[in-house]
Amino acid sequence: MFTMWWHLLPLSALTALGAATAPSCSSAPTTLHLPDAPYDNFFYSGCNTAVQVVVTTPQPDSNLSLISPRLVIAWPAGNSGVCTYFAPQNGVNGSLSIEVVNSTIGNPLSATYDERNSTSGNDTTPFYGVTGTIRFSSSAILTVPILGSIRTIRDFVEGPSLLRPQIQDAINVSSLSNGGASLKRIWLDNVTSTHLTFTPASSKGSVTVSKNNTLTFGTGDYIFTAEFNYPQLKQLSPAQVLTNSSTDLMQRDSERTSALSFLSYSTKLLAGAWRFLTYFGRDSMISALLLEPILSKGENGAMEAVIAAVLERINRTDGSVCHEETIGDYATWLNEQQYGLYSTEAQCDYKMIDSDYYLPILMNKYFVEDPIGRTRAASFLNTSAGAFTTLNSNLTYRQMVAINAERIMNLAARFAGHKNQTKENLVHLKDGQIVGEWRDSTYGIGGGRIPYDVNTALMPAALRAIASLARNNFFMNQEHWAKLADRYAQVWEDETLQFFRVTVPESEAKQLVSSYAQTIGFSGPNQTDTIDGDVMYHALALDGNSNQTQVQVMNTDDCFRHFLLNTTGSQDQLTAFVNQTANNIRRTFPAGLLTDAGMVVANPAYGQNPVYASNFTSGAYHGTVIWSWPLAMMAKGLEQQLGRCEVVNSSVGHDHHGHTKIPDFCKDGTVYGNVKAAYNILWDSIEANQAQLSQEVWSWVYDNNNETFVPTPLGVMPPPPGTGSQTGMLIFVFLTYSLFILVTNRSRAVRI
């Protein structure tokens, strides 16, 4: 048997026995513990490896059909992981609890390192791992083990409990001479192996392997060790992720700066833990835009890591930006399934349409507007591509930028043409896709084909950025883009909102909200007394489910336009736009977007079709729930719009030619006061929910006794029918860390 008893020991013990030791680190490992019942999250980062361990254990109020005892171990390297589900041996659901505890093995975790070769092939990559102690409150059975890829685990957790025999049948289970048990699987590349072992921490414990390879544990403590031989990533320390002027954050908020570091690597920044420990183009670019004031600049800095990762993964044939990469064991499986080929070549998902537009916006923000970025532009653009895929190996970053910009210009041209401002000429989802922007769940945009955020904000903002890049000689032989892109942008800014605008007369609005509150069984006040006029908002998308012309769901996606655009076309349109945003933020759910738990990203109360209430629920991923980064983007967006009213502020309030323009809404006392009040109400909500801000998304329940919305993990809420389990929601994503600069920088210039 390959896994010997001494292989279970932490690095310190291995050293004492004369086993190979890991390369020495100049600093102690970073550990982080983020409890969020029923999930308990542990992070371990050293110079050799980074890993997350998540323990799920039912709570007294848990929905036992959704929450069961589970151990997840996830590595950013290769997007790899281990997942094990446990059940009480007595069969009584909810009677078993598990936890990771401090022990002589680690406090609670320790790293392992072994230079022995793989059991298959001639790979010499060391085995990197983690070890700790897990405690079972009663005898338990290991019901489902998954070894290899986080994507494989996601397919099981998020889908219909999907397990692939080709992967599951390759798990080798065996007993160990020290009373423990081992699970081992060789990846589809026939080189990499993932190992998981459990050993009794005392003579009282026992692990029994049955004839059908089921593991049974007695009550007590067990040492677990998980390891694999796959090349690790080079992590950026908190000091390497942040600018020199922002390093004080490491003292003021060490927990979140450590978490930010866990997601930051020299070649890419990751989306989130634990289910998305890999590259996501949209997420990393939104994060970089929001975190731009504090992210490190220059060569080997975090900003350039984000941009380079996006450029490396562009589809050179059409300029599309990669949404999510597929690497490691899952890439090998996907290559075989899709092409019938044995290949470990990484793949990219290009189905999203919004990712394309963030690239020129971010390029302009860094390489034109930032003084450090300006000095780096020439060198960076001359970098040869090909680090991620050989398909781009004969191109430079400058060429990749141009390929993406040309795609955007081509997509913009038709709608911007003379008398061509029709719905058909707007940007649609790609054929055959039901998702295409950040609300990328089944009902995220209600089946819509023409997303609000992409057409009214991302397209014109990207065109403004392309015009600026062209004026700064980023594109060879495309000097005419400087004027053309600005002309296109003005049309898209002025003419797109009308397609999405929804106006509900006051009396009808009150009736709709009252009916909606009854439909969902909402026990709090329906807030119809706060509706003091016609309600206006913008539909999530056009051409939705059930033949809906508009997906009439109030939402937070106004934030994109507030944050990404500061030009002014129609003054009347701008005034109405900022005012309706403020109204919808100020009103409490179900009449508006505000709750004590935060601002919900969707409110279906004003939709005429009952399908909206069924699909946009407090248990839906993009339903009546709170996301952290839209809070940040809305706060910064409203700050920017209010900042345009300040003559002394030279960084805002300009058109694209640099001329100062104070918008008309600034001189309208009612509208300006409304926007200012909404800004402060939103900030009050953000500050009141700081305990939630390390999470990607959370929900709420209404407490009748205290008449308040109580923040609640989304993972414990029942999802809409047919959308699959949401157990094990992210504990944090890179996007959420925009808030730790914002929380301490609420603008005093506009604060009441």
The DSSP result for 57-125, as a single string, is ---TT--TTT---EEEEEETGGGEEEEEEEEETT--TT---EEEE--SS-SS-EEEEE-PPPSSTT--P
Cβ burial of 102 (10 Å; 0-12, 13-18, 19+) is: exposed
CB atoms within 10 A of CB 479: 12
**Is the pLDDT at 301 greater than 60, yes or no?**
yes
CA distance 53 to 73: 5
CA dihedral 43, 45, 49, 50 (to 10 degrees): 40
Q: Are residues 117 and 187 in the same domain?
A: yes
**φ and ψ at residue 565, rounded to 5 degrees:** -125, 135
CA dihedral 312, 318, 323, 329 (to 10 degrees): -70
For residue 63, how many C-alpha atoms fall within 13 Å in the half-sphere facing its CB?
A: 15
**Is the pLDDT at 738 greater than 60, yes or no?**
no
Indicate the residue among 228, 260, 291 that finishes a domain. Answer: 228
Q: Are residues 458 and 577 in the same domain?
A: no
CB contact at 8 A, 707 and 719: no
The residues that bridge with 220 in the sheet, in sequence order, are 136
Q: Is residue 272 part of a domain?
A: no
CB contact at 8 A, 742 and 277: no
Q: Are residues 86 and 214 in the same domain?
A: yes
Mean pLDDT for the chain overall:
89
Specify which of 104-118, 236-250, 459-473 reaches the highest per-range mean pLDDT: 459-473
**Is the pLDDT at 17 greater than 50, yes or no?**
no
pLDDT at 713: 86
Q: Is residue 630 part of a domain?
A: yes
If one compares 18 and 671, the residue with the highest pLDDT of the two is 671
pLDDT at 62: 83
pLDDT at 752: 43
If one compares 248 and 614, the residue with the highest pLDDT of the two is 614
CB contact at 8 A, 498 and 569: no
Q: Is residue 406 part of a domain?
A: yes
Q: Are residues 137 and 25 in the same domain?
A: yes
**Is the pLDDT at 743 greater than 60, yes or no?**
no
pLDDT at 201: 95
Region 49-58: mean pLDDT is: 94
pLDDT in tens, 464-482: 999 999 999 999 889 999 9
Confidence grade of residue 734 (pLDDT, cut at 50, 70, 90): low
CA distance 471 to 684: 41
pLDDT at 359: 98
Region 435-454: mean pLDDT is: 96
Region 290-303: mean pLDDT is: 93
If one compares 320 and 611, the residue with the highest pLDDT of the two is 320
Which single residue is written with the structure tokens 């019942």? Answer: 37
Q: Cα separations (Å) of 456 from 200, 281, 632? A: 60, 20, 19
Confidence grade of residue 508 (pLDDT, cut at 50, 70, 90): very high
| 27 phi-psi bin (left φ>0, alpha ψ -120 to 50, beta other) | beta
Q: Are residues 689 and 577 in the same domain?
A: yes
pLDDT in tens, 265-292: 999 999 888 988 999 999 999 999 999 9
pLDDT at 691: 86
Q: Are residues 167 and 296 in the same domain?
A: no
Tokens for 92, please give them.
Answer: 């009584």
CB contact at 8 A, 231 and 715: no
CA distance 128 to 79: 14
Range of the domain at 657: 555-603+616-742
In the sheet that 732-733 helps form, which strands lie side by side, from edge to edge? Answer: 276-279, 270-273, 732-733
**Is the pLDDT at 231 greater than 60, yes or no?**
yes
**Is the pLDDT at 8 greater than 90, yes or no?**
no
Q: Are residues 55 and 184 in the same domain?
A: yes
pLDDT in tens, 66-81: 889 999 999 999 999 9
Q: Is residue 187 part of a domain?
A: yes
Q: Are residues 348 and 431 in the same domain?
A: yes
CB contact at 8 A, 382 and 395: no
pLDDT in tens, 681-701: 999 999 999 888 878 899 999
Q: Are residues 458 and 574 in the same domain?
A: no
Tokens for 158, please give them.
Answer: 């998020």
Q: Is residue 359 part of a domain?
A: yes
DSSP assignment, residue 458? I
Which single residue is written with the structure tokens 């919004």? Answer: 354
pLDDT at 727: 44
pLDDT in tens, 129-173: 999 999 999 999 999 999 999 999 999 987 778 899 999 999 999
CB contact at 8 A, 396 and 389: no
pLDDT at 646: 86
**Is the pLDDT at 659 greater than 70, yes or no?**
no
Q: Cα separations (Å) of 69 from 46, 495, 508, 644? A: 28, 53, 48, 52
Confidence grade of residue 247 (pLDDT, cut at 50, 70, 90): confident
Q: What's the total number of domains in the chain?
A: 3
Q: Is residue 511 part of a domain?
A: no
Q: Is residue 548 part of a domain?
A: no
Q: Are residues 455 and 570 in the same domain?
A: no
Any idea which of 74-88, 253-267, 435-449, 532-546 has the lowest mean pLDDT? 253-267
- Whether the link from the prior residue into 683 is cis, omega within 30° of 0, is no
**Is the pLDDT at 21 greater than 70, yes or no?**
no
What SS3 class is residue 554? strand
pLDDT in tens, 522-569: 999 999 999 999 999 999 999 999 889 999 999 999 999 999 998 878
**Is the pLDDT at 661 greater than 90, yes or no?**
no
Maximum separation of any 2 CA atoms in the chain, in Å = 82
Confidence grade of residue 578 (pLDDT, cut at 50, 70, 90): very high
Percent of the chain with pLDDT over 90: 73
For residue 393, how many C-alpha atoms fall within 13 Å in the half-sphere facing its CB?
A: 5
Cβ burial of 654 (10 Å; 0-12, 13-18, 19+) is: middle
CB atoms within 10 A of CB 183: 24
pLDDT in tens, 174-200: 999 999 999 999 999 999 999 999 999
DSSP assignment, residue 532? -
Confidence grade of residue 61 (pLDDT, cut at 50, 70, 90): confident
Confidence grade of residue 203 (pLDDT, cut at 50, 70, 90): confident
- Measured over the CA atoms of residue 449, residue 453, residue 455 and residue 458, the dihedral's sign is negative
**φ and ψ at residue 197, rounded to 5 degrees:** -130, 150
Q: Are residues 192 and 326 in the same domain?
A: no
What SS3 class is residue 456? helix
| 357 phi-psi bin (left φ>0, alpha ψ -120 to 50, beta other) | alpha
DSSP assignment, residue 322? P
**Global model pTM greater than 0.85:** yes
**Is the pLDDT at 577 greater than 90, yes or no?**
yes
Confidence grade of residue 259 (pLDDT, cut at 50, 70, 90): confident
If one compares 650 and 231, the residue with the highest pLDDT of the two is 231
Choose among 580, 598, 594, 508: nearest CA to 539.
580
Indicate the residue among 228, 247, 270 that finishes a domain. Answer: 228
CB contact at 8 A, 683 and 594: no
- Tallying the residues shown for the chain, one arrives at 752
Indicate the residue among 186, 206, 228 that finishes a domain. Answer: 228
CB contact at 8 A, 645 and 666: yes
Q: Are residues 204 and 300 in the same domain?
A: no
Region 207-235: mean pLDDT is: 94
Q: What is the DSSP string of 387-402?
A: SS-GGGTT-BHHHHHH
Which single residue is written with the structure tokens 């001639």? Answer: 122
CA distance 733 to 151: 17
Tokens for 298, please give them.
Answer: 């220059």
Q: Is residue 257 part of a domain?
A: no
CB atoms within 10 A of CB 721: 8
Choose among 148, 146, 163, 144: nearest CA to 80.
148
